[in-house]
Amino acid sequence: MSRLVGKVVIAQGGGPTAVINQSLVGAVVEARKFPEITRVWGAVHGVRGIIEEKFVDLSEATTHNLELVARSPSAALGSTRDKPDADYCLKIFNVFKRRDVHYFFYIGGNDSADTVKIVNEFAAKEGYQLRAIHIPKTVDNDLPVTDHCPGYGSAALFVASAFSGANVDNVALPGVYIGVVMGRHAGWLTGASCLARKHENDGPHLVYLPERQFSIDQFLADVDAAFKKHARCLVAVSEGVWGEKDAKGKKVPLAAALMRKFGREPQVDAHGNVQLSGGALADELADAVGKQLKIKRVRSDTFGYLQRSFPGVVSPTDAREAREVGEKAAQYACWHDVDGSIVIRRTGDYAVKYELAPLADIAAKTRVVPPEYINAEGNGMTDAFRAYVRPLAGELPYVERLWAPPATL
Amino acid sequence: MSRLVGKVVIAQGGGPTAVINQSLVGAVVEARKFPEITRVWGAVHGVRGIIEEKFVDLSEATTHNLELVARSPSAALGSTRDKPDADYCLKIFNVFKRRDVHYFFYIGGNDSADTVKIVNEFAAKEGYQLRAIHIPKTVDNDLPVTDHCPGYGSAALFVASAFSGANVDNVALPGVYIGVVMGRHAGWLTGASCLARKHENDGPHLVYLPERQFSIDQFLADVDAAFKKHARCLVAVSEGVWGEKDAKGKKVPLAAALMRKFGREPQVDAHGNVQLSGGALADELADAVGKQLKIKRVRSDTFGYLQRSFPGVVSPTDAREAREVGEKAAQYACWHDVDGSIVIRRTGDYAVKYELAPLADIAAKTRVVPPEYINAEGNGMTDAFRAYVRPLAGELPYVERLWAPPATL
């Protein structure tokens, strides 16, 4: 055991999730056990809190408070959308040197992993001892190497529950229902809607991911066929579906194209992501179904921000794993002289173990839904995907149908 | 006890809720105990199932299945948006005569009460013995006489939970967040968002109901002030807010006006209600805040259909009361020679009793949020309203803040 005396800085980045505080508390509670850790500081609002030196002293948070925070949604330290470049990372590193910080845990997605990697490279260059660990988190589930990402399971449970409720609503009042689900480049979360199907004729009957090019004509043909078969139709659509590429060969999300059509220029964030939120996509698809297929009752919802940290909708597996990736980060850093990203390996059905992967394998990379999880038509999920996602989301609230014979007239 | 031998017909109308099946099962299980009830028929898809004589025989549903259905969201018999006129009601009555139906239980809102009333008048005119009971149900909570409506408490729990989650999301990534909530004429459900406020600076900081005229200028001034105070702002807006009246003096919902602005003619249903669903209102308000107040991070959601029957989000009080109004309907009808609408009286804090009110007092009437529940500025709820709604929604999932001192630099 190498005793590296110094402070921990821990931070949370990107979009909040239902279980990101489990990871925070896992790392903090574990780190506080080690005598060589002089203080555990939490950066307020992610990396921005580091360069502005806004820290809270988590060594003096009560364990009771931490345990309640662990069970609360969103990012308790505050988050940020800042995407640090090399200069920004150098500022982070300089704060670490000045404040005697030798442990850095950053909970976030692939851009957060990239930040950890760059800061770590500055430390290596100067021979400054830093143990830098990326703790995975994203409802998008789009990190490479790891089997899945903490935060995804709970969001998947929300999406599947929403479609389970929308399905029985749609049975009661038949028509077409379209639900637009988060997922810019990867359709993992939209795919989870398939867990709502229990009976053969349950919805969603159609699922569209950004892994496939979206054609409005094919979409209408699909809805028409499903509606003719079931006399109703539920559709799950990723917010990131795209119909065409621009002059530079970049996919143009339909949601952004529609915002422009209605006179609103979508915002672009520091990560170069064009804004997809808002109801335009759902409204437009519903409008097309109503007008072109002459279906009377067409409704649509955009699940929006509700799906990523809805209080009380938490997958127990997700909560447990989020806790453990946090704990493992502290253990790897304190017991071993290493840096990296914590990854989850699936070792059974269902069992996992935690490992450390090189930061370079995770940083700034995106894992999309592989072909074997999408049906040949590109409008539904396969059984292999259902087997993948089911243990992550956990059990859906039970929904029962009424079984009664027709009355004898 | 007067023994009236014959069949029961029970039906569900209007929008599904999380607990409407509790009322169904309450009435069915109770009615099946009485030997003079020859059969308990469920009408498939509400009143439409009656005139088309599509019934299921609930005498032959297992109690076990019924109990599981009771705990499932949406309307298990199917529902309808049909609003019967006198001719339609006469058809219903003729089916009852032909099929020896002497008990009619209809679970629904004020239009369903109106249907029960008209059918009952046909029976009275012909001296046909019919015991017709309206069982209240609506997430809108807009029925008169009753203290509140089954279905409302669970939807209120969803809305309050959603804002509780959105609040901590907004703390983590500050900006303006606007949530659009169901409620065409009455703001009961939007008002429930106030339960998300635990700490003084929690959101929603502003709440707008259709009980007050909506001014976009005042809205922007309010958001501006709240944002300056809190460096963030959460807003709850009813989908039914209206800014102006048309030539006939009828309120024009902003959502409908916006749909027209974007070239979509909103649908009008059989009840004369113009379609309010879709994301246009939320998008437009967010756009106005971003452009006119120069606030960078502005997000909005339309809660849509998720809020009315989300699996697993059920208020225990709401479930219990929905069950009991169903049971009471069967008891009133079987033990007494009466018709009417079941109403809930609040007799303590918190305690209720059930009574029977004349159908004419409920039918086709709407109860809006009274002035004492809305603050003087028309942009928030009073403590009196919080005291009213809290026992109905029940306990929200616990959300804890992190308490840690600033680090000593």
pLDDT at B280: 87
> Which residue of chain B comes nearest to A276, CA vs CA?
B299
CB contact under 8 A, A165 and B77: no
Phi and psi angles of residue B124, each rounded to the nearest 5 degrees, phi first = -60, -40
Residue A403 within any structural domain of the chain? no
Catalytic residue among B111, B114, B140, B142: B140
Nearest-CA distance B126 → chain A (Å): 23
Rounded alpha-carbon distances, angstroms, from residue B368 to A360, B186, B211: 59, 5, 7
CATH number of the domain within which B246 lies: 3.40.50.460
Please name the helix (run of DSSP H) or strand (run of DSSP E) that holds residue B303, with its range, or none.
none
Chain B residues in contact with A42 (beta carbon < 8 A) = 402, 404
Pick from A61, A80, A402: which is nearest to B404 by CB? A61
Least confident of A148-162, A252-266, A317-331, B370-384: A252-266
CB contact under 8 A, B278 and A286: yes
Pick from A56, A80, A277: which is nearest to B407 by CB? A56
CB contact under 8 A, A406 and B301: no
CB contact under 8 A, A402 and B76: yes
Structural contact between residues B19 and B322, judged by C-beta atoms closer than 8 angstroms: yes
Question: In which band, very low, low, confident or very high, does the pLDDT at A1 lie, cut at 50, 70 and 90?
Answer: low
Beta-carbon contacts of residue A280 (< 8 Å; ≥ 6 apart): A255, A258, A259, A261, A262, B279, B283
pLDDT at B2: 62
Q: B242, B181, B235, B253: which is closest to B215 by C-alpha?
A: B242
CB contact under 8 A, B165 and A53: no
> Which residue of chain A comes nearest to B403, CA vs CA?
A61
Question: In which band, very low, low, confident or very high, does the pLDDT at A2 lie, cut at 50, 70 and 90?
Answer: low
The three state secondary structure string of B61-101 is CCHHHHHHHHCCCCCCCCCCCCCCCHHHHHHHHHHHHHCCE
Burial class of residue B385 (count of CB atoms within 10 Å of its CB; 0-12, 13-18, 19+): buried
> What is the average pLDDT across A65-84?
97
Choose the mutation target among B32, B74, B273 for the interface with A, i.e. most A CBs under 10 Å. Answer: B74
Q: What is the DSSP letter of B202?
A: P
Q: How far is CA A181 from the centre of its chain?
A: 11
Please name the helix (run of DSSP H) or strand (run of DSSP E) that holds residue B333, with its range, or none.
helix B316-335
Chain B residues in contact with A277 (beta carbon < 8 A) = 299-300
Q: How far is A178 from A237, CA to CA, in rounded Å? A: 7
Nearest-CA distance A303 → chain B (Å): 7
Residue B407 within any structural domain of the chain? no
> What is the average pLDDT across B382-392?
98
The reply to whether B14 and B38 lie within a common domain is yes
Domain that holds residue B258: 152-307+369-393
Model confidence at A271: pLDDT above 90: no
- Is B140 catalytic? The answer is yes
pLDDT at B255: 86
The reply to whether A357 and A375 lie within a common domain is no
CATH number of the domain within which A95 lies: 3.40.50.450
The stretches of A127-176 forming alpha helices (DSSP H) are 152-172
List, in sequence order, every residue forming a beta bridge with B206; answer none if it has no partner. B235
B294-323 pLDDT tens trace: 999 999 999 999 999 899 999 999 999 999
Pick from A61, A262, A299: which is nearest to B403 by CB? A61
Rounded alpha-carbon distances, angstroms, from residue A302 to A281, A284, A352, B299: 8, 12, 33, 12
Least confident of A222-226, B70-74, B244-248, B374-378: B244-248
CB contact under 8 A, A172 and B53: no
Pick from B45, B301, B398: which is nearest to A305 by CB? B301
Question: In which band, very low, low, confident or very high, does the pLDDT at A258 lie, cut at 50, 70 and 90?
Answer: confident
> Which residue of chain B comes nearest to A82, CA vs CA?
B173
Least confident of A93-102, A171-180, B166-175, B276-285: B276-285
Chain A residues in contact with B76 (beta carbon < 8 A) = 168, 172, 401-402
Chain B residues in contact with A99 (beta carbon < 8 A) = 409
Q: How far is B263 from A98, CA to CA, in rounded Å? A: 59
Mean pLDDT of all residues belonging to chain B: 95
CB contact under 8 A, B74 and A168: yes
pLDDT at B51: 98
Residue A382 within any structural domain of the chain? yes
The reply to whether B30 and B43 lie within a common domain is yes
CB contact under 8 A, A68 and B398: yes
Residue A351 within any structural domain of the chain? yes
CB contact under 8 A, B407 and A278: no
Structural contact between residues B24 and B107, judged by C-beta atoms closer than 8 angstroms: yes
The reply to whether B190 and B52 lie within a common domain is no
Q: How many Cβ pairs within 8 Å bridge chains A and B? A: 250
CB contact under 8 A, A57 and B287: no
CB contact under 8 A, B400 and A304: no
Chain B residues in contact with A396 (beta carbon < 8 A) = 311-312
How much helix, strand and coil, in percent to the nearest 5, is found in chain A? 40, 20, 40
Residue A1 within any structural domain of the chain? no
Structural contact between residues A192 and A160, judged by C-beta atoms closer than 8 angstroms: yes
The reply to whether B90 and B177 lie within a common domain is no
The reply to whether B380 and B238 lie within a common domain is yes
Least confident of A120-129, A197-206, A360-369, B252-261: B252-261
Chain A residues in contact with B173 (beta carbon < 8 A) = 15-16, 78-81
The reply to whether B188 and B135 lie within a common domain is no
Q: Which residues of A are catalytic?
A: 140
How much of chain A, in percent, has pLDDT values that exceed 70?
99
Chain B residues in contact with A408 (beta carbon < 8 A) = 57
Pick from A54, A280, A404: which is nearest to B60 by CB? A404
pLDDT at A8: 98
Residue B167: what residue type? N
The reply to whether B229 and B335 lie within a common domain is no
pLDDT at A378: 97
Question: Mind giving me the DSSP string for B220-243?
Answer: HHHHHHHHHHHSSEEEEEETT-EE
Question: In which band, very low, low, confident or very high, does the pLDDT at A272 lie, cut at 50, 70 and 90?
Answer: confident
> What is the average pLDDT across A231-249?
95
> What is the average pLDDT across A219-237?
98
Rounded alpha-carbon distances, angstroms, from residue B204 to B103, B159, B173: 46, 11, 15
Chain B residues in contact with A306 (beta carbon < 8 A) = 162, 165-166, 301, 303, 306
The reply to whether A327 and A373 lie within a common domain is no
Please name the helix (run of DSSP H) or strand (run of DSSP E) that holds residue B296, with its range, or none.
none
Q: Which of A362, A383, A401 is the last residue of a domain?
A: A362
The reply to whether A245 and A204 lie within a common domain is yes
Chain A residues in contact with B168 (beta carbon < 8 A) = 16, 72-74, 76, 309
A338-380 pLDDT tens trace: 999 999 999 999 999 999 999 999 998 899 999 999 999 999 9
Model confidence at B75: pLDDT above 90: yes
CB contact under 8 A, B301 and A302: yes
> What is the average pLDDT across B214-220?
96
Tokens of A58: 């988590």
Number of separate domains in chain B: 2
The reply to whether B299 and B179 lie within a common domain is yes
Nearest-CA distance B371 → chain A (Å): 30
Q: B8, B1, B90: which is closest to B42 by C-alpha?
A: B8
CB contact under 8 A, B71 and A400: yes
Q: Which of B320, B346, B362 is the last residue of a domain?
A: B362
Residue B243 within any structural domain of the chain? yes
Residue B408 within any structural domain of the chain? no
pLDDT at A280: 87
Nearest-CA distance B376 → chain A (Å): 30
The reply to whether A329 and A233 lie within a common domain is no
Model confidence at B244: pLDDT above 70: yes
Least confident of A190-199, B18-27, B242-251: B242-251
Residue B258 within any structural domain of the chain? yes
